[in-house]
Chains A and B, each alone.
Chain A
Amino acid sequence: MIEVISLTKRFGNFTAVDSVSFRVEKGEVFGLLGPNGAGKTTTIRCLLTLIKPTSGQVRVSGIDALRDPQQVRQLCGYVPQEVSVDGDLTGYENLLLYARLYQVPRKLRKKRIQEALEFMGLADRANSLVKTYSGGMMRRLEIAQVLVNQPRVLFLDEPSIGLDPAAKRMIWDYIVRLRDDFDTTILLTTHDMLEADELCDRIAIMNLGKIAVTGSPQELKTHLGGDVVSITSKDSNCFGVLQRLGYRLLSPSHDGVCDLVVQNGEQEIPRILDELKQHGITTNSVSLKRATLDDVFLKYAGVRIEEGDTTWKHARLTRRTIRKLRQ
């Protein structure tokens, strides 16, 4: 349904998206997972013909997005990362505006709008000005807005950013229902591991403009092969010693923590500690957990995605401030 072949986008000398290729099948929820500045939004904007790629090919439903942008836009729905509903119009009007812009036939408009509002649980607030909505309601309205066109392909840029856990769950449920009930193909971006894990049929891990690996969350975790043992040691030789002993390490140690992947964690831990002791290395603490997407991310991108959390908080704050400004 979506086909991207060596897509590259440069802003001046800076390469935001670097020769990225992937395919999304019909009826699939596909996630682009990456930290701030990975190039996720830029990729989506190229797909939607909002900006011109520097090179590469983009096809949506078999249509060349560079040659026939208008036709591609007619098939798609887009929920941007930032707030994209108009606070000075009512919920109903926000939907009516898009129904008109997408040329939904006059006879169908009312019905589609009503259905979209009910689907997203907003029917009772349809006639209030949107600036009186909560953040979660605005996000739901944004999704309702794209539904009036019954798009075959939906682009959701960080659909749950800035929402509390309950509102997040609600959005996830709607996304799954969209895929199951309407067979919509969905491309979403996120830096939330849990979201990627729960929601996506397949994900692509993206960092610094490149896709490091693609696969289903389960595949990626299995591929990592087992459990993750985290060993903390003040000794800076710890990493080197473990490496020489032939263990699979996830990345260079950060603040004295070495993450290694082993088959049977519980049984391996005593042996590892003994070996370290023999090499004269004292350990401070050890922990064991099942591999998560975050470990997969660490392996392929070289950083933990959560380390970018401060900027994420910043983004969330901005979203909030923007709402305040509007009111």
Chain B
Amino acid sequence: MTAATRMISGILTITEFELRKVFHDSSQVFVRAIQPLLWLVVFGGVFGRLRVLPTGSYSYLQFLTPGVLAQSVIFIAVFYGITLVWERDFGLLNKLLSTPIPHSSIILGKTFAAGARSILQAVLIFLLALAIGIQLHIDVVSVLGVVLVIVLSGMCFSSLSIFLASMLKTRERMMGIGQAITMPLFFASSAIYPMDLMPTWLKVVAIANPLSYTVDALRALLVTGDYSHLPRDLAVLTLATTALICLATTSFKRIVD
């Protein structure tokens, strides 16, 4: 068996079994839809009525939905670094590392799983958004585009989380950092307010934040239908994902040292 097929079969196996775990306990998909739903109904409901945020010709709820989708992607992704520490604390990770698959395929498998898992979550939130009457733009292109953007973003943030896990190494620190970064990532993006409203320093952070591009792409696909920024968004996401995956695969063996 060649190195390449070993690698690919390793990745697919890890991904498949990560997903099997989700299917054994599908209630987690529903539980994790509660918070996004609250964002839409409560936060979106109130701010939509206040009409303080200039969202052009779209309702605030339409504007917010892509932001909430993106948020649920980071919540899922951050979780992967924590599980990795968890699996290290048991013997699971050591045992995985003792098998003949290339070690990078373990990380790639997990990030793919994060991408696929994010899709599941997104479908549910999407349906909820439609159910509460938010108008979204749906056709073949937009659906395929959304799938691509969400998978990329799931991979991007899960490898960020795995990279952080290999640096921080303990469950407590990972929990701490999980909380410390998810909210800032969310607020320092265009998820809940247009970037033009931000003070300059925040705008700089938002421009460096991959999540802004996730939100921008999702908004183009689902709401505005204006695809002019889409190539830029996809390019930035692909670049960030590649860089973070490289970082995660090279650093993650530190977690067991």
Contact = CB atoms under 8 A, between A and B. Distances in A.
Interface of A: 45, 48, 50-51, 70-71, 73-74, 76, 78-86, 88-90, 93, 97-98, 100-103, 129, 322
Contacts of A89: 17, 20-21, 24
Interface centre among B89, B95, B96, B102, by most chain A C-beta atoms within 10 angstroms, is: B95
Q: List the 8 closest pairs (A to B, CB-CB), nearest first.
A: A80-B91, A84-B91, A82-B91, A78-B98, A88-B21, A84-B95, A101-B99, A74-B100
B138 interface: no
A79 B25 CA distance: 27
A84 B88 CA distance: 9
Contacts of B94: 45, 50, 78, 80, 82, 84
Interface in B1-30: 1, 6, 9-10, 13, 17, 20-21, 24-25
Contact of B9 (A70, A74, A93, A100): A100
B6 A103 contact: yes
A297 B20 CA distance: 47
A48 B256 CA distance: 13
B90 interface: yes
Interface residues of B, number: 25
A51 B257 contact: yes
Contacts of A86: 17, 21, 92
Contact of B89 (A70, A74, A82, A85): A82
B89 A101 contact: no
21 contacts: A70-B100, A73-B98, A73-B99, A78-B94, A79-B95, A80-B94, A82-B91, A82-B94, A83-B92, A84-B90, A84-B91, A84-B92, A84-B94, A93-B20, A97-B13, A97-B17, A101-B10, A102-B99, A102-B100, A103-B9, A322-B90
A101 B13 contact: yes
A204 B1 CA distance: 38
A126 to B, nearest CB: 14
A34 B155 CA distance: 44
Nearest to B94: A80
B89 A100 contact: no
B90 A83 contact: yes
A97 B91 CA distance: 15
A89 B21 CA distance: 6
B97 interface: yes
A73 B96 CA distance: 11
Contacts of B257: 51
A156 to B, nearest CB: 12
Contacts of B98: 48, 50, 73, 76, 78
Nearest to B13: A100
B207 to A, nearest CB: 39
Contacts of A85: 92
Contacts of B1: 103
Contacts of A83: 90-92
A93 B98 CA distance: 18
Contacts of A51: 256-257
A322 B13 CA distance: 26
A73 B6 CA distance: 14
B167 interface: no
B21 A101 contact: no
Interface string B77-89: 0000000000001
